[in-house]
Amino acid sequence: MEEKGAENGVAAMAACYQGFDPAAYLQYNYTPPRADFERKDSIVPWKLACLHKAFTEGDVSGELLVDIGSGPTLYQVMSGCEVFNKVLLTDFLEVNRQELRRWLQDEGGCSLDWTPFLQHVCKLEGRRPSAWTEKAAKLRQVIMDIVTIDVHCPQPLALDALPSAGADCLVSCFCLESVSPDLAAFTRALGHIGRLLRPGGHLLLIGALGESYYFGGPGVKIPVVPLNEAQVCASLKESGYTLIRLEVYTLPQDMRVGVDDVSGVFFVKAMKE
């Protein structure tokens, strides 16, 4: 019975996403004030700084980086593309995969201009902001594919999507807690994606704290598992990861723009045991 209930919960979550609107989601979360590169306390620059630090400390390395549940966003692999020769983007929704393909094929029609993000990451790397065109070219060069994923399946990707040894690093931002019906499903999903990672490989995880819903488009209210730091740490341990670092960002009042009830964001750097 318990298994049936879990299946129903996952199916209900999938149904919530049928109205997801990538353009609206990007507008809500990746424009000012949340993406204000002039402000040190803006949430997007904080996330980019966490990722830049993690990818440049020297211990995260290898050939293949897999982004779990990319959504319609690219910021999460902008630092990683300098470290890994191959990057695989993944998402459950075709509308998100289409959004990413539009950018990858460079034919216009994207819902968001990623130039300020690329420029900011260049600055973090000590390069001129004008180097963003080189970074965009590098990113397009290393992205090998954009494929379907289901984190609730014990085998989340098609069998031939990855080499048998697995990925060297996984990055995942705001995916698992926003597609899981409860904490148990979140923890199971962490375990499922861990099967894609080689032993000793790294997981870089960004997620919401204290969030019970967000809007995935006008009138599209999607439930989220409200997490606290202790639950994140316990779920990681249960799923076979060793925590290296946990950082927390608390949202200033003016970042609470009415599209969700998130109170904070966590960044995790962990290693598969």
Binding site feature residues for S-adenosyl-L-methionine = 25, 30, 69-70, 75, 91, 96, 150-151
Structure tokens at 158: 């098609």
Residues making up the binding site:
25, 30, 69-70, 75, 91, 96, 150-151
DSSP string, the chain: -HHHHHHHHHHHHHHHGGG--HHHHHHHHSSTTTT-TT-TT-HHHHHHHHHHHHHHSSS--SSEEEESS-TT--GGGTTGGGT-SEEEEEES-HHHHHHHHHHHHT-S--SS--HHHHHHHHHHTT--GGGHHHHHHHHHHHEEEEEE--TTSSS-S-TTSS-TT-EEEEEEES-HHHH-SSHHHHHHHHHHHHTTEEEEEEEEEEEEES--EEESSTT-EEE-----HHHHHHHHHHTTEEEEEEEEEEPPGGG--SSB---EEEEEEEEE-
